[in-house]
Structure 1
Amino acid sequence: MDVDFDSSWLEKATLAAPADLRPLYERFKQLHEKKLWFQLTQAVEQYMAHPSSSTPTLRLDLYQKFISTFATRINRLRLVALAVIASKQFTEPSSALTFLDNLATSIDTDESQEAFVFATMEAAHFKLILGDVDGTKEAMDKCAKILDSFNTVERGVHASFYRVSGDYHKTKAEYASYYKNSLLYLACVDLDVDLTEEDRIQRARDLALSALLGDTIYNFGELLLHPILTSLQSSPYAWLSTMLFSFNSGDIGKFESLLPHLQSEPILAENQAFLRQKICLMALIESVFRRASTDRTLSFETIAVETRLPIDEVEHLVMKALSLKLIKGSLDQHAQLAKITWVQPRVLDKPQLNALQQRLNAWVGRVEEVAQFVKGQTPELFITA
């Protein structure tokens, strides 16, 4: 609901504002007098994006003492976007939560459910900061049902939902769910515009950790191809990128060379046994992948060499891979053989692509040899006009 507009506040704010913001204040006054709400909204958005307005309370003051006076004239989604920017200038998370909760309640109508989700999820962000994990989950579940009922959703609304959902799963140490939601969040934003360099590095680090620690994540393809990963290259976490690629190629030697770095990430150091099992599984997948489909019956001894495991642990490793559906096949415990019929597809690096090309070339060569043999044996079938 609109509130009364105090024009004297705008005059005082104009005089007190940084010099580069004063023309915007003057424009606010002109557009408000003419009741040009759309143009006024655009001018306000320009103000909120201006670097000088990041000075403590400037954006919040503008929202509370000016934007609120014509709030009903503004598109609901754009209003929430302005409120979210303003909420970041509260010194106490509880105040920001109350501010956004009140806004969400005021726009909870059938016509503005998308904006309601936006405000609710941004309020849930502050709930999470305040430690209200259950309240955050309740907001996520409620908003998920609303979003599922829409045919299309604004990118910013989805970004808010996936970002807060990812942060929730991070708090709960649910690595696979964080990985999924965080990648979906990145699909909804412009990395260079919406994230600072620090944010990009932090997001890439968290994604790398979740990929490594997720007990159902054995395909890093989407992350390895995502530009967010390049953010690590010039940071202290560059080794995490190298480790991801070593896992993707099942390179146990490279993994072991990176083990000293685990001390800088206590959560990885605590899960070193799990990481070693995971790299062994990836090495098994790589070993199978390198072989032709006619050469995928592996002895336990061969697998032991490829994975650097004692031979008495090979059967358990293969059974683990089968249960995770990383491979398909069967075990012959008596003959100590594993017959693999399928291996999970994944993103290939350049050496793996080169190996695949060589196998394809060899296959093409064999097909040509068979064709020439058949042609020689039955030339009457190959007579051309």
Structure 2
Amino acid sequence: MSSSTSTAAMAIDPPAAPKLDLDSFIGTALSSTPAELHPFFESFRSLYTRKLWHQLTQKLFAFVDHPASKPYRVNVFNIFVRDFESKMNQLRLVEMGVKVAKDIENPQTQLTQLTSLLSRIPIPPSVAKPSPDAPDAPPTSQSSIEAYVLLLATIAHTKLVFGDLEGTKTDMDAAWDVLDRLDGVENGVRAAYYGVAADYYKAKAEYAPYYRNSLLYLACVDPATDMSPEERLARAHDLAISAFLGDTIYNFGELLMHPILDSLDNTPYAWIKKLLFNFNEGNIGKFEALAPLFPRERILQENYSFLRQKICLMALMESVFKRSANNRTLTFQTIAEETRLPPDEVEHLVMKALSLKLIKGSLDQVDGKANITWVQPRVLSREQIGGLAQRLDEWVNKLNLVEQRIAPEVVAQ
């Protein structure tokens, strides 16, 4: 089987779970674990005997979250939980299984653990291939479908750690095919998908898809509680780099408003945050002032010519934006001055902006002018908002003058 075969499509008949001998399991656990864990196992016995599956699930999560339980989690999951997993909420089961699998250091063993669990989760109707001879399957619950997506996304991430990009993409696509049909999905499930999608595109050095999926991932988690300071710093750094190098990203607004950027403050990457705001303002002077720092980020230094063109495009957008709607015919000379380009490169810059749909309008090559009718909306800095407020004041004043001029005529009528 090739690595591109979807895990979702693998027809695996899971082996039957071994019959649980509850007294033997609990007795062995009590004799081989620290005393601080013993109350958990006593509760396991009581709740299992009384068939209180919801309460047992809660107690198991408390056990898995206890620091001392780490050496015993896999064994508890594979022997004890396996016995009654069909009676659990399937999403909670998979969440627990994913946590436990992280304790397995060998990636291949971890992958085997996860794929074995996947084989025991009901397959969503959109994935299952019905057989005319098979009886109608019972309806699949939302919990089971979300569990399936979460587990498939986790398997895709494990394959990514292996370096199996093809297998990762195949499982990612299979997860998305199911996820895209669901409503009201838990954030943790979406986070698992967007997290692996972002990491996949990072590995492929595809900046725009990384940027998009990474922001979607952040929308599904609470960075303050779900991410360590190191993870927040790394995510902010990678998002900034992808914003600079994404050849279709000319609006940094969502990133500029996100608190993740504060992770760059008081770090060696603080200048990158400043550079982001400079780009958004189309401020070539500030861009050039920070350019000597580019060698600190080799990838920015290697792509300097692209970044120079990008800041020129954003300077053009800013030049158009700050003008009133009836004053957006710019000479090539004006554009050259505001973008700091030689006049003979202006026409190419405007054509590039038109092709990227950053602006709309037309070129008059004979008179050397660009008539701009529209500029792509974007998030504004405080300075830009101040300029917009000033233009609105001027517009209101003009309306007042018109009102004063025509008021006597209206009264006379």
Same fold (TM over 0.5): yes
Amino acid in structure 1 at the alignment position of 2:178: I
Larger RCO, structures 1/2 (Cα 8 Å, 6+ apart): 2
CA distance in 2: counterparts of 1:286 and 1:19, whole angstroms: 67
Superposed, which structure 2 residues align to 1:234-383 within 5 Å?
Answer: 234-381=266-413
Q: Which amino acid aligns with 1:26?
A: E
| Cα shift readout 1:73-92 (whole Å, capped 9, x = no counterpart) | 21111111011111111111
Aligned mate of 1:224, from 256, 260, 272: 256
Superposed CA deviations along residues 119-156 of structure 1, whole A, max 9, x for unmatched, are 11101101111111111111112122112232332222
CA contact (8 A) 1:2 1:72 kept: no
Cα shift at 1:48: 2.2
Query: Which has the higher mean CA deviation after the structures are superposed, 177-186 or 105-114?
Result: 105-114
User: Alignment identity in percent?
Assistant: 52
- Tell me the TM-score normalized by structure 1: 0.93
Q: Runs (4+) of structure 1 moved beyond 6 Å?
A: none
1:128 aligns with 2:128: no
Report what 2:89 is aligned to.
75
1:50 counterpart = 2:66 = yes
Aligned to 2:176: 144
Contact in 2 for aligned 1:175/1:213 (Cα 8 Å): yes
TM normalised by structure 2 equals: 0.87
SS at match of 1:338: strand
Residue number in structure 2 paired with 1:39: 55
Q: Residues 18 and 241 (structure 1 numbering): CA distance in 2 closer, same or farther, change over 3 Å?
A: farther
What is the CA–CA distance in structure 2 between the aligned matches of 1:10 and 1:304, rounded to whole Å?
79
Query: Which residue, 50, 61, 73 being the options, matches 1:59?
Result: 73
Corresponding residue for 2:224? 192
**In 2, Cα distance between equivalents of 1:92 and 1:313:** 56
Number of residues of Structure 1 aligned to a counterpart in Structure 2: 379
RMSD of aligned Cα (Å):
1.8
Q: CA deviation at 1:45?
A: 1.2
Instruction: Report which stretch shifted further, 280-289 or 194-203.
Output: 194-203
Q: Give the structure 2 partner of residue 183 of structure 1.
A: 215
Which residue in the other structure is 1:25 paired with?
41
Q: Cα distance 1:34–1:270, how it changes in 2: closer, same or farther (>3 A)? A: same
- 2: CA distance, partners of 1:323 / 1:79: 50
Paired residue secondary structure (2:119):
helix
The answer to whether the 8 Å contact 1:166/1:178 transfers is yes
* Candidates 19, 36, 43, aligned match of 1:4: 19
Superposed displacement of residue 212, structure 1: 0.9
For 1:61, the aligned partner's letter is N
Paired with 1:52 and 1:281, the residues of 2 have a C-alpha distance of 56
Unaligned 5+ segments in structure 1 are none
